[in-house]
Amino acid sequence: MTDAEPYDVSIAELGRGLRRGELSPVTLTEALLARIADLDGILGAFQLVSADRALATARAAEVGLAAGQDLGPLHGIPYAAKDLFDVSGLPTAAGSHLLADDMPGADATVVARLAGAGMILLGKTKTVQFAYGGAGINHDLGTPHNPWSRVPRLPGGSSSGSAVAVAAGLAPAALGTDTGGSVRIPAALCGVTGLKTTVGQVSRAGVYPLSWSLDSVGPLTRTVEDAALLYQAMRGADPGDDATRGRPPQDVMTGLRDGVEGLRIGIAETVFWDEADPEVSGAVRTAAEELAALGARVRSMEFPAAADALALNPRGLVIAAEAYTLNRRLIDEHYDELDPIVASRMIQGRDVSATDYLRTTLDWKRLRREAVGQLGNVDAVLCPTTPRPACTLAEADADMDAYLRHNLLYLRNTAIGNILDLCALSVPCGFTRDGLPIGLMIYGRPFSEDTVLRIGQAYQQATGWHRRRPDLGWVASG
């Protein structure tokens, strides 16, 4: 531990402090609950806070550690879960008041695994309704406030509350889901680290679904090391999710600090850079130069599969069809009670023909094979996570056209990776003149989370962007 407040350091540092007796799970949890009480009335990151439950779990963790029953590096560490994850005894609202009383009977698999690792659940964070949106706006239960700006700006979605909670120091880690960028977009716009896992690496059992083809689960944290720790605890096969069958547990910790010497890293000179803010482009290319200085073999490359992925995602056809199928009763029976933007987009899935759906999914399979071939001579690819930093909420939510335009732009670079079934990591790589975070995205081939985390770790060891914290004096003063 350092002299910093407990909400201002990484999970790895907190773990060391817990084991040296410099703090306890109870005092740590109390400090975070107090910070949530002080700040979240304005930030709006949490859908619900389960204080009594968190303190009871913290006391149990404290007794266990004192008795020498150490469950590992996450034991005694608090976290938050996006309000898509089932937690026994807590409702899963999925961003809608219509599901406010939807009480699951069991924990989601990843929630159970983190409990088994000794983690302490603080509560559930807000999400875009049904996780259907990259801007992060929820007209039903409220939009979290990006902590980097007093003027309301987009937090990114759909894991909006999770990113705001981590960025503002309300929780050292939070769970998110990523179907088109919903971990990485808010990570980039809120200046934190976000890991998009390959479908099949982490169980989705007990997670409110948006698209069975594309949904993935990943952590949002302050550091790459913290993301690796959570991923290591969550990954692995689960009978509750067929996509995980046959997937052996992946060890990402052993080689995390191996550096980038000799790794082949491409800069994808393609659609990722279209309409990019010059400050974003400059920061990402500078990050590439820094990786080269660390010994990586960095070069520009073409990656035509990226543009092809966009062309094979007309109107978000597959997500719309699957989202409507999964939410049909709510759409058909309660359309006027839903977030109007989400409802108007999701109902379009009702008109997707079986022929179009099947043709598109078959084309995706072909394109995924081509993408792996195009990435055969590199270990990872770099690009901006989002082409622009967070714009104001007023600009993005002025009307339906403005929302759709901004939502599509923020989703563009990240959705490519979902369609191609890549894994990806977003890390902070700079700030604009206005003090807004910029995200660097590190794409890897499917199931190469160990590589993208290794690259991200090397970058963060050499730079300090991830250590910056927003000045929240304006929040505390109301």
**CA 108, CA 155: separation in Å to the nearest integer?**
25
Per-residue pLDDT of 372-382, as tens digits, reads 999 999 999 99
Per-residue pLDDT of 142-165, as tens digits, reads 999 999 999 999 999 999 999 999
Tell me the C-alpha to C-alpha distance, in Å, between residue 21 and each of 57, 60, 188, 414, 443. 18, 16, 34, 41, 39
Tell me the domains of the chain and their CATH numbers. 126-476 (3.90.1300.10)
Instruction: Specify the amino acid at residue 126.
Output: K
48, β-bridge pairs: 124
Q: Cβ distance 104 to 92 under 8 Å?
A: yes
Mean of per-residue pLDDT scores for the chain: 96
- Of 160, 182, 211, 213, the catalytic one is 182
pLDDT reading at 5 higher than 90: no
- What are the residues whose beta carbons fall under 8 Å from the beta carbon of 393, sequence distance 6 or more? 137, 143, 152, 153, 154
Per-residue pLDDT of 48-106, as tens digits, reads 999 999 999 999 999 999 999 999 999 999 999 999 999 999 999 999 999 999 999 99
Q: Cβ distance 223 to 73 under 8 Å?
A: no
Detail the DSSP E strand segments found in 71-228: 78-82, 120-125, 173-178, 193-196, 216-221
**Does the annotation count 10 as an active-site position?**
no
Confidence of residue 2 (pLDDT cuts 50, 70, 90): very low
User: Which pLDDT score is estimated for 459?
Assistant: 99
For the chain, give the percent of residues with pLDDT over 90. Answer: 95
**What does the block give as tokens for 348?**
């379009």
pLDDT reading at 394 higher than 50: yes
CB count within 10 Å of CB 368 equals 17
> Residue 120 phi/psi, 5° resolution?
-120, 115
User: Which pLDDT score is estimated for 247?
Assistant: 81
User: Which pLDDT score is estimated for 188?
Assistant: 99
**Does the annotation count 182 as an active-site position?**
yes
User: Which pLDDT score is estimated for 365?
Assistant: 97
* Length of the chain, in residues: 478
- Of 10, 24, 50, 82, the catalytic one is 82
User: Which pLDDT score is estimated for 249?
Assistant: 83
Instruction: Specify the amino acid at residue 312.
Output: L
Confidence of residue 315 (pLDDT cuts 50, 70, 90): confident
Q: Cβ distance 157 to 106 under 8 Å?
A: no
- Of 50, 96, 149, 158, the catalytic one is 158
**Mind giving me the DSSP string for 27-77?**
HHHHHHHHHHHHHHHHH--EEEE-HHHHHHHHHHHHHHHHTT----TTTT-
Per-residue pLDDT of 407-464, as tens digits, reads 999 999 999 999 999 999 999 999 999 999 999 999 999 999 999 999 999 999 999 9
120, β-bridge pairs: 78
**CA 342, CA 210: separation in Å to the nearest integer?**
12
Instruction: Sheet with 173-178: list strands edge to edge.
Output: 46-49, 120-125, 78-82, 173-178, 216-221, 193-196, 423-431, 437-444, 380-384, 264-268, 297-301
Helix (H, G, I), strand (E, B) or coil at 21: coil
User: Which pLDDT score is estimated for 1?
Assistant: 47
pLDDT reading at 316 higher than 60: yes
Tell me the C-alpha to C-alpha distance, in Å, between residue 444 and each of 85, 206, 235, 450. 26, 27, 17, 9
pTM: 0.98
- What are the residues whose beta carbons fall under 8 Å from the beta carbon of 421, sequence distance 6 or more? 198, 199, 368, 446
User: Which pLDDT score is estimated for 248?
Assistant: 82
**Does the annotation count 50 as an active-site position?**
no
Q: Cβ distance 273 to 300 under 8 Å?
A: no
**CA 312, CA 271: separation in Å to the nearest integer?**
14
Higher pLDDT, 137 or 247: 137
